[in-house]
Amino acid sequence: MDALAERFAQKIRHAGLESLATAGMDGTIVKDSTAEDSVSPPPRPSVTTEREQPLVSTAYLECHPLLLHQQIEQFSDTLMSSFALESPGSAKPRKLAILPLFLLPGVHVMEDIPHEIALAQQALGEAIELDLRPAIGSHPGLHRLVTECMATQPVEAWILLAHGSRRSNAHKPVEDLAERLGAMFAYWSVPPSLESRLLELSQLGIRSVGILPYFLFAGGITDAIAQTVETFAQQFPTLKLHLAPPLSASSELTDLLVDLAQDEGDGQ
């Protein structure tokens, strides 16, 4: 997240955008009662003026001592202090763009984040307008990014392995993407499972299978996936399994974020 935020800040500076903030949580972070003990919150960003570098911060829906709306309010205080130094007495409202780093339009994207933003907006009043942008998973450019990841390994079949969601219709983007890629889709938390897909491919006589974890960053779940794939390699001895890395904080992913951040005619 820190590496992605740094790349993002550099690119929006060159793109001429102002005062943006990324707010998200990598779905690979462990979501249990011990998570806060094992995940350290990111350092509070240093304050610079807009002329030096756009103000960018990271925030987290889970695994952080503060709730998301509290993190947004805290960063908004930093923004207001910076604005006061640059334009004393200015009453011009400011806009804070929030970019959800989530791949699926599940409960977090469609319910939890909007709720937290509404709480933050209520607390901030009219001083700062919170602008929730589309989640990264909605960007059509992900097709190209995933295609490039798959091109690194020649295999007979690919499985796009996403986390999954309990929200209806949340899986459609993954399934549409898999169809465009000519790949199978599977989910870590809901059916169809990776095991069931490997069984199908084995029965079809496939010999080599690529598994692409459809996650932004490495973490607890991708570690568990790697361990599970090792087990499946013994369970399906006729299959040669290749586990690709998650998408990671690449320059290409940063470009997609910058694209989502730009909103013509904003006047931020």
Per-residue pLDDT averaged across 14-26, rounded?
50
Q: What is the per-residue pLDDT for 58?
A: 94
Residue 43 has what pLDDT?
Answer: 47
**What percent of the chain has a predicted confidence (pLDDT) above 90?**
66
pLDDT at 54: 63
- Joined together, the tokens standing for residue 165 give 């969601």
Place of tokens 């972070």: 29
SS (H, E, C) 39-91: CCCCCCCCCCCCCCCCCCCCCCCCCCCCCHHHHHHHHHHHHHHHHHHHCCCCC
Give the tens place of pLDDT for each residue, 165-178. 988 789 999 999 99
33 pLDDT above the threshold of 50: no
Compute the distance between CA of residue 55 and CA of residue 21 in angstroms, rounded to an integer.
Answer: 7
- Phi–psi pair at 251, nearest 5 degrees: -65, -35
pLDDT at 60: 95
Q: What's residue 155's pLDDT?
A: 96
DSSP character for 135?
Answer: P
The C-alpha atoms of residue 114 and residue 106 are separated, in whole angstroms, by 12
The pTM (predicted TM-score) of the whole model is 0.81
In this predicted model, what pLDDT tens digit does every residue of 101-151 receive, in sequence order? 999 999 999 999 999 999 999 999 988 999 999 999 999 999 999 999 899
With bands split at pLDDT 50, 70 and 90, how would you rate the model's confidence at 30? very low
Higher pLDDT, 196 or 46: 196
Please determine, for residue 37, whether its predicted confidence score (pLDDT) is greater than 80: no
pLDDT value, residue 94: 81
Q: Which domains are delineated in the chain?
A: 2-137+249-261 (3.40.50), 142-243 (3.40.50.1400)
What is the distance between the alpha carbons of residues 120 and 264, in angstroms, rounded to a whole number?
25
Residue 68 CA, distance from chain mean position: 15
Average pLDDT, the chain: 83
Query: Distance between CA 248 and CA 225 in Å, rounded?
Result: 16
